[in-house]
Amino acid sequence: MSELVERRLRLPTGREAAIVEGLKFCYDLSETDALILFELLKGGEYTVDDLTQKLNLSKATINRGLAKLVELGFVARTREKRSKVGRPRYRYYINNPKEVIDRIISDFEECAKSFKDALRQLLKEIEKNK
């Protein structure tokens, strides 16, 4: 999966970009947010501690990323049943990875359409002012 995160895509200008850069642009995700997302897309349920160990990131970084991903609706969480008192602990997961990826694809397409529409409007204005 990390190869997919880091795979470079060639743009029309010859510049290369990664999927992570698209996620940054469309959703304001950081690279670490994207790493958390890609890990959860693999399937399974994870605690903050699980992700901290797996990704070698701090708990604060994991918590911030998860909060953003939950807010975006990419990630779900369930409260762990515990016999201890204290802060609730959660398990994080993605119900349907295909749905999440399809949503991202759709959002990327909508983003591209917005740019195309804005450029068409600019062209109309330029032609009108000739």
Q: What are the tens digits of pLDDT across the range 16-56?
A: 888 888 899 899 999 899 999 999 999 999 999 999 999 99
Q: What are the tens digits of pLDDT across the range 93-116?
A: 999 999 999 999 999 999 999 999
Considering the domain 2-128 in this protein, what is its CATH number?
Answer: 1.10.10.10
Q: Which two tokens stand for residue 85?
A: 């008192």
At a CB cut-off of 8 Å and minimum separation 6, what does 111 contact? 25, 26
For residue 4, is pLDDT > 70?
A: no
Q: What are the tens digits of pLDDT across the range 55-80?
A: 999 999 999 999 999 999 999 999 88
Tell me the whole-structure pTM to 2 decimals: 0.83
Alpha-carbon 56 to chain mean position = 19
Q: How far is CA 112 from CA 44, 109, 128, in A?
A: 32, 5, 24
Q: How far is CA 22 from CA 4, 13, 27, 59, 114, in A?
A: 13, 16, 8, 25, 15
